[in-house]
Amino acid sequence: MDGSRELPLTLRLDDQSLEILENLAATQRCSVDEYIMSLVRRAVRSEQKLRKPKTLDSHDAPLDAFLPEGADPFAPVSHGDNGLASTFADVQTRMRFAGTPSILRDIDP
């Protein structure tokens, strides 16, 4: 791997734990060293995901999908059809059908 550095690692394992590691490595068809390296990489990636600050983007705001492009959710409600849900029932209906293929949206359960 480019940019990697060798780090000596000493593990003191009992015979049973070593046997388990050897069996797990054998099922992955790799050496125990390679298996332990993959476990460490996975643990580091998992820890990075847990510690990563949550940033909001358009994919993190699913309710924005209910707004038509360019609609201002804070604009006063006009009596014309602006594509926004005007009642709680409309909001529930839109949330129920979110992600449903359009061909199935007309079917009322």
Angle between helical axes of 15-27 and 32-51 (0-180°, round to 10): 90
CB 13 within 8 A of CB 22: no
Residue 92 is assigned to a structural domain of this protein: yes
Is residue 71 located within the same domain as residue 42? no
Strands (E), the chain: none
Q: What is the pTM of this model?
A: 0.44
Residue-range definition of the domain harbouring residue 92: 58-105
Residue 72 is assigned to a structural domain of this protein: yes
Residue 65 is assigned to a structural domain of this protein: yes
pLDDT tens digit string along 22-71?
Answer: 999 999 999 999 999 999 999 999 888 888 766 655 555 555 556 666 66
Number of domains in the chain: 2
pLDDT tens digit string along 5-28?
Answer: 888 888 899 999 999 999 999 999
Which letter, b or e, does each residue of 76-102 get, where b requires 16 or more Cβ atoms within 10 Å of its Cβ?
A: eeeeeeeebeeeeeeeeeeeeeeeeee
